[in-house]
Structure 1
Amino acid sequence: MATRPVRIEFMSGGSAPLIFTHNLPKTLIEKSTASSSAADPEYISLFTATINPILTQHMQAVFAACQRECCVCGAPATRPTLTPMSWLHLPDPFINVIACPICPKPGCDTGARQNIQAMMSEMAGSPAGTDKDNIAEKIKGEVMPCNVCRKVDKTFKCARCKIAFYCGKEHQAQDWPSHKKACKSMASGRQA
């Protein structure tokens, strides 16, 4: 498979970005457009298979560069939530990865994802509203990890709030005690 070197920029708030270069499949770059790639399941699958090992490879270095407080509640962080944002459609293609340190408290993972979605909206040039429907809509095209095991293959979103993601019914049931309050809050905010 033909590849091309691409910058991967990990952004973690206050610190300087960590920049790495990785060879990505040319087909990933050539097929990328700002609007259509997010709706193409084949493209999403290739993007996921390509980016996940890169995220895993750099996760510890990125976490070391992050603030040590949860970006949602301020408690000691235990890991980062990493969200890639593709700019592969540009003449000088690159991928931004937004890193948000989080703690294991219920709701902080969902809160971090909402914060990241708002940042991504600003970076993409669209207004960063806090409307719950807008957040759920923006997550649609993004590959999101399971709230429990962080696996990204074949995840589905919570039918009620459309913010939390799971790899199976077992993990959805396991996470329900933690997710329940945020889920009800998000769902009621969407109906208001």
Structure 2
Amino acid sequence: MDTRPIRFEFQCLEGAEELKFVHNIPSGLVNPEALAAQRDGRYRSQFLTAIRPILKEHEAACRAASKGFCENCGQPSVGVLQTPMSWLHNAEDPFVAVLVNPVCGKRECESQMRENIEDMIAEATAEIQGQGASRPSAHVGNMSCRICGKTEGIMKCARCKSVAYCGKEHQRADWKVHKTSCVSNDGGGR
């Protein structure tokens, strides 16, 4: 089988080190039509079969880089969610981005993280298709208050922009938990 070296970027918590590796994957997965091909079950199956061992190989490094706390509730994490985003359609620089989100093992936290990730991927995909973007957006849509789950009138944390609250009261109530992972977008932290 013909293979091609591809860069994998494991994107851990904001402000954390990005892990980069190069792995050989089947050449047939790398093409300008890869974005459209992801809707095809056969292509998707081949893609997942090719990258699962890569995700498994780097899981321990991802856990170490995730600072040990659930991204949703702030409790100690017991694992990480690894969500691959294919950029194999990008002819100039094909790569695979892997979003790494630490989770505590509670079903609710994992479910909330998966929902947030799905929203972010849907938004990034819409931007690519609508504007011809070549990289994913850092903006996350459809966020809910980290305390009560409310989705109307939500404001993101001004510092890290990775969590949201319905008001100052819930932001203050969550600060003891959130401050352990809150870092500014410029890489600084408290």
Please, what TM-score do these two structures have when normalized by structure 2?
0.63
Residue pair 1:31, 1:37 contacting (<8 A) in 2 also:
no
Aligned to 1:86: 86
Partner of 1:130: 142
- Cα distance 1:12–1:71, how it changes in 2: closer, same or farther (>3 A)? same
SS in 2 for 1:39: coil
Number of equivalenced pairs: 131
**TM-aligned CA deviation for residue 122 of structure 1:** 4.9
Quote how far apart the aligned CAs of 1:105 are. Answer: 1.4
- For residues 86 and 43 of structure 1, the distance between their equivalents in structure 2, rounded to whole angstroms, comes to 12
**How far apart are the structure 2 equivalents of 1:30 and 1:3?**
13
In structure 2, distance between residues paired with 1:129 and 1:79: 25
Amino acid at match of 1:41: G
Aligned to 1:149: none
Change in Cα spacing, 1:28 to 1:55, as seen in structure 2 (3 Å) is same
Gaps of 5+ in 1: 133-192
Partner of 2:168: none
- What amino acid is aligned across from residue 52 of structure 2 in structure 1? N
Q: Describe the shift of the 1:32–1:17 C-alpha distance in structure 2 as closer, same or farther (beyond 3 A).
A: farther
Q: Is the contact between residue 78 and residue 104 of structure 1 (CA under 8 Å) also seen in structure 2? A: yes
Secondary structure of 2:107's counterpart equals coil
Contact in 2 for aligned 1:121/1:128 (Cα 8 Å): no
| 8 Å CA contact retained: 2:6, 2:22 | yes
Deviations, residues 150-179 of structure 1 (Å, cap 9, x unaligned): xxxxxxxxxxxxxxxxxxxxxxxxxxxxxx
AA at the equivalent of 1:81: L
Compute the displacement of 1:93 (Å).
0.4
Which TM-score applies when normalising by structure 1? 0.63
Alignment CA distance shift 1:47-1:31 (3 Å): farther
CA distance in 2, matches of 1:130, 1:97: 21
Matching residue's letter, 1:93: P
Q: Is the 8 A contact 2:11 2:98 kept in 1?
A: yes
Superposed displacement of residue 118, structure 1: 3.3
Q: More helix per residue: 1 or 2?
A: 1
Matches within 5 A, 1:82-161: 82-91=82-91, 92-124=93-125, 126=127, 128-130=140-142
CA contact (8 A) 1:79 1:103 kept: yes
Equivalent residue letter for 2:104: C
Write the distance in 2 (CA, Å) between the matches of 1:51 and 1:121: 21
What is aligned with 2:61?
A: 61
Show CA shifts across 1:72-116 (max 9, x none).
111100100000000000021000000000011131111111222
Instruction: Check 1:104–1:52 CA distance in 2 against 1; reply closer, same or farther (3 A cut).
Output: same
In structure 2, the partner of 1:6 is: 6
Q: Percent same amino acid at aligned positions?
A: 39
Report the Cα distance in structure 2 between the residues aligned to 1:120 and 1:18, rounded to whole angstroms. 20
